[in-house]
Amino acid sequence: MHKKVVIAGGGIGGLAAALACARQGLPVQLLERAAALSEVGAGIQIGPNVTRILQAWGLGDALAQVAAFPEQLQARDAQTGQVLGTLPLGERAQTRYGAPYATIHRADLQGLLQRAGQGAGVDLRLGQTVQGWQSSETALQVNTVEGLSLQASALIGADGVWSRVRQQLLGDAPARFTGHLAYRALVAQADLPAHLRSDQVTVWMGPRLHVVHYPVRCGQWLNCVAIVHGAKADPAQDWDQAGNNQALMQAMGAVGRDLHERLASVPAWRQWALHDRAPVSGAGDMVQGRVALLGDAAHPMRPYLAQGAGMAIEDAQALAQCLSAGNATVPAQLQAYAQARWARNARVQARAIRNGRIFHAQGAVALGRNLSMRLMGERVMDVPWLYGGGPPTDL
């Protein structure tokens, strides 16, 4: 049969995989359990390693119409307000890495991927949840809860941290609660006093907490994320729920006047309980036969390197390249994809965990962090191993 790819999950990873495969001429059916595509999240940061891929997919102009491109990343002490270090972005990122550093609302990124994918021929089926599959020597039969049955050469589980595809493929434990709670909000910059508006990425670091804010939607909105340690308010609640400003302030403890004013300017928060998994240990964690995992389904990670969406988009690029390369069997092509991706994903997962400890450090460790940032600034804030690399093969 002609090679056909079925993808479970219509988030950023699934949409990116669908677009990348369609650009390679592969028939793609994208199954999303929701009745309509929507994104309840707020903003994300996308480094040059990601914008480079989006540009190769022909999305550079569309990205420029909806994203912001901050000039710098600034780290500050959450208690004193002191600037600890600054990393220039803007022209420096473009010059050094060949692509810009961007900040974007999740819904805007999802929208441009969806439009491009459907323009490339992706068959999007809403209201369809993958229930399972049966394998033969030459194909898969993918079944949905709603009664749809599809023949496919490969099934890609891009259905997020609570992936049903992963559950059936690997049968491992659910993602683990990190003990961290994220409060997220979007605020119109026009509604803020002038001194609270911002065109840069700012990270505030303090004991058992950090806050990051940056512009989205061409700078018209400010995305704010505050992460604290704590228990779930509702043990059964793993995702989006209303956040309480008083609970956030209590969890923050004593923070400086500048940060307190910033947090108090936010009219309403949404709260997420953050979950992750241990770093990927090998290709078998991402692929078995004709079924592969991608993005959060494969390697959910903490947000302290701002690469969750980025790794999903990198996965998508590698998946499409492998599925269209040579005359190998589909299982061999998927195995090549996993071999190309697992170690890098594991490194990013591990680095994100490490960064969280550094961001939330107390006592002597926090003093050492602050001193090293003051002395070395760009050197400790930049991540060339992550952002670097030449232009990708045009997909």
Q: What is the pLDDT of residues 354-369, one digit of tens each?
A: 999 999 999 999 999 9
Q: Give all strands (DSSP E) within 47-121, no chain letters.
A: 72-77, 83-88, 102-105
**pLDDT tens sequence across 163-185:** 999 999 999 999 999 999 999 99
Predicted confidence band of residue 394 (pLDDT cuts 50, 70, 90): very low
In the structure encoding, which two tokens stand for residue 128, read together? 């369809």
CB contact at 8 A, 318 and 156: no
CB atoms under 10 Å from CB of 337, counted, come to 25
Handedness of CA 245, 251, 254, 257 (dihedral sign): negative
In the structure encoding, which two tokens stand for residue 201, read together? 């990425």
Least confident range of 129-138, 172-181, 198-207, 240-249 = 240-249
As a residue count, the chain comes to 395
Predicted confidence band of residue 244 (pLDDT cuts 50, 70, 90): confident
CB contact at 8 A, 79 and 204: no
Predicted confidence band of residue 392 (pLDDT cuts 50, 70, 90): very low
Nearest Cα neighbor of 232 from 266, 268, 275 is 275
Q: Is the pLDDT of residue 219 over 50?
A: yes
Whole-number average pLDDT of the chain: 93
Question: What average pLDDT score do residues 237-243 get?
Answer: 61
In the structure encoding, which two tokens stand for residue 366, read together? 């926090």
pLDDT at 393: 40
Name the strand (E) or helix (H) holding 61.
helix 60-66
Q: Could you give the CA distance from residue 205 to residue 192 in angstroms, rounded to a whole number?
A: 22
| 219 SS3 class | coil
Burial (CB count <10 Å: 0-12, 13-18, 19+), residue 296 = buried
Predicted confidence band of residue 237 (pLDDT cuts 50, 70, 90): low
Per-domain boundaries in the chain: 5-174+278-387
CA distances to 46, 298, 350 from 117, in Å: 19, 22, 32
Q: Could you give the CA distance from residue 258 to residue 74 in angstroms, rounded to a whole number?
A: 14
Least confident range of 45-49, 313-317, 373-377 = 373-377
Q: What are phi and psi of 362, to 5 degrees?
A: -130, 165
**pLDDT tens sequence across 26-41:** 999 999 998 887 766 6
For the whole model, what pTM was predicted?
Answer: 0.95
Question: What average pLDDT score do residues 71-92 get?
Answer: 96
Handedness of CA 133, 136, 140, 144 (dihedral sign): negative
Task: Give the CATH fold of the 5-174+278-387 domain.
Answer: FAD/NAD(P)-binding domain (3.50.50)
Q: Is the pLDDT of residue 391 over 60?
A: no
Q: Is the pLDDT of residue 390 over 50?
A: no
pLDDT at 154: 98
How would you label 234-249 residue by residue, b for 16+ Cβ within 10 Å and e otherwise? eeeebeeeebeeebbe
In the structure encoding, which two tokens stand for residue 12, read together? 């950023």
pLDDT at 65: 97
How would you label 179-195 residue by residue, b for 16+ Cβ within 10 Å and e otherwise? ebbbbbbbbebeeeeee
pLDDT at 238: 57
pLDDT at 395: 35
Q: Is the pLDDT of residue 351 over 80?
A: yes
In sequence order, the 6+-apart residues with CB closer than 8 A to the CB of 15 are 30, 110, 113, 114, 117
Q: Is the pLDDT of residue 224 over 90?
A: yes
**pLDDT tens sequence across 104-115:** 999 999 999 999
pLDDT at 286: 98
Q: Which residues are identified as catalytic?
A: 214
**372-375 long-range CB contacts below 8 Å, 24 or more apart?**
373/75, 373/84, 373/85, 374/84, 374/85
CB contact at 8 A, 26 and 322: no
Question: What average pLDDT score do residues 49-72 get?
Answer: 97
Q: Could you give the CA distance from residue 304 to residue 306 in angstroms, rounded to a whole number?
A: 6
CB contact at 8 A, 227 and 209: yes
Quick one: angle between helices 330-359 and 308-323, nearest 10?
Answer: 170
